[in-house]
Amino acid sequence: MPQRIIVIGLGCAGSAACAELSRRGAEVIGLDQFEIGHTRGGSAHQSRAFRLAYYEHSGYVPLLSRAREGWIQLNDETSEPPFIETGGLYISHQDGSLAPDSIAAAKMHGIEHVELTARQIRDRWPVFDITDEMIGIFEPLAGLVVPERAVAAHIEIARRNGTQIMERTRVLGWQPYKSGIKVDTSSGTLEADHLVICAGAWAGPLAGPETLDVRPSRQVLAWFDVTHETGIDAPELPVWALELQDTSLLYGFPRMSGLPGPEGFKVARHWPGPTVDPDDVKAMAVQPGDESDVAPHLARWLPKAAGPATTVHTCLYANSPDGHFRIGHHPDCDRVSIIGALSGHGFKFQPVLGELAADLALKGHVDFDLNFLNLH
């Protein structure tokens, strides 16, 4: 008898969980309160950075190596490849964190990279107006992922393998029941052997706030109209990030045609951001002046690329208190797994998140050391 698994959420984590569980022969039901590809969660809006020289914690690097294999495999399986290798450039003050710690991570894990002085960066990418005290690292295997394509590709694989996809179905709660789990939804009650919670910014109440402390936050991203020749197009410009004085990251993507969504030079800022209720549509709506979250930093560090903002969107982070993911079995019920609190940096891991979800549900353990992401 195949195991029956319910997956809550069909964004980055949930779509990959459905794909991998169904590949391994499970009978899967994937539910989302909205439609596939919606823009109200954390998994839309054209591009996500992928990098290997992770300075946040060295425990992520083995996961990223595996994720990269998964992206390459997914690219081979789909007509619209979600992973685009552009290289990655990370810049910070020499006493900062982003560049020195990424260099240390690259050295520790044998990741291909080039260390750069400010002058070398200015010579090769004149769009950056940086001072002599800044340094950088270029990582050739970095790139970007198109989230719309990645979610669609995983859902297609899941459907091909028999997964029942239920859109516009909200999960209201769950309880252990006999040897399985009962899940109450807006379309009735379902039963399964195992439940996987991949509910992003909404996961706290579903997992129980004492189990998963998720702080949803409102993030702004903007596309700028840059008319003159500035070197911001692919393949000249790689995916890039620059650490600001307050340790937040200004980051962006090379302009390229053929991607879903707005045209222009996409730039945003990675920081915890203001906490919001993810269901508060009014609070999430774009407000006049939202682009000022990004525009002054763009004008300071890439002044030649500081055209007018033509499109602004908001997006949700699902932050943990320390910025690290929370992955594992529910502490009170090992028939429930959680892939949560991806804290604004989870997309690049998508293929390996699917594997972790499938391992937790079907094998009861994972083959990676996830102690640093422990739910306990």
Q: Does 354 bind ligand FAD (CB under 6 A)?
A: no
Q: Does 70 bind ligand FAD (CB under 6 A)?
A: no
Chain position whose Cβ is nearest to ligand FAD: 11
Closest separation in Å from C-beta 263 to ligand FAD: 18
Residues 83-122 that bind ligand FAD (CB under 6 A): none
Q: Does 266 bind ligand FAD (CB under 6 A)?
A: no
Tokens of 279: 């269901």
Tokens of 311: 């499109």
Residues 143-182 that bind ligand FAD (CB under 6 A): 170-171
Q: Does 268 bind ligand FAD (CB under 6 A)?
A: yes
Choose which of 5, 6, 7, 10 interacts with ligand FAD (CB under 6 A): 10
Site string for ligand FAD, 186-225 (x = CB under 6 A): ------------xxxxx---x------------x-x----
Query: Based on CB atoms, which residue is closest to ligand FAD, 100 or 340?
Result: 340
Closest separation in Å from C-beta 319 to ligand FAD: 10
Q: Does 33 bind ligand FAD (CB under 6 A)?
A: yes
Q: Does 13 bind ligand FAD (CB under 6 A)?
A: yes
- Residues interacting with ligand FAD, by CB under 6 A? 8-14, 31-34, 41-43, 48-49, 170-171, 198-202, 206, 219, 221, 268, 315-318, 342, 344-348
